[in-house]
Structure 1
Amino acid sequence: MGHNMRLDYETYAKRGFVLGVALLAIGSIGSVMGPSIAGPLPSWERTAFFDLMWIGIATGFFSVFGFGIALPLTD
């Protein structure tokens, strides 16, 4: 499938990693700065910030692993 599409794996890996870092930064800044700005956060907001951090880590790791290592080897 990749032979006909000519995917730019390097660009996808870089953009996925940057997206993961951005999600991690938003989650960690929100969980640290949120209570100091808005007071105590509801539990759903704390959970959302925590989930953003883990989704960011997973996105950054799997985009680099998938688009940077695995898919170019199968091409």
Structure 2
Amino acid sequence: MAGRHRDLNYARLTRGGFFLGLGLFALGAIGELTIGVTGIAVPAWEHALLVDAEWIGVLLALLSPFVFGIVLPLTE
């Protein structure tokens, strides 16, 4: 069991997860802002999709550094 995470590049995974979360949050926030400013009518599932993207983006941006930067390197 020892060394099972040896092939992982933790710095790359941390940065990638953080920036993916940041991108998801930005996509959801800009989409909601655009819909609110323009006043176009969109289905409820599109609002739900954008809000979910914001929440998942925040969680991913906050948890990626913790998981890939702290927890997994300590388990080796």
- The answer, yes or no, to whether TM exceeds 0.5 is yes
TM-score normalised per structure 1: 0.87
- Residues 5-60 of structure 1, C-alpha deviations (whole Å, 9 max, x = no match): x2110110001000000000000000111243461222111111100000101111
RMSD (Å) for aligned C-alpha atoms? 1.4
Which consecutive segments of 4 or more residues in structure 1 shift more than 6 A? none
Contact kept, 8 Å, 1:24 with 1:56, in 2: the verdict is: yes
Say if 2:44 is the partner of 1:55: no
CA contact 1:35–1:41 (8 Å) conserved in 2? no
**Identity in percent:** 37
How high is the TM-score relative to the length of structure 2?
Answer: 0.86
Unaligned runs of at least 5 residues, structure 2: none
Cα distance between partner residues in 1 of 2:11 and 2:51: 29
- Paired residues, what number? 73
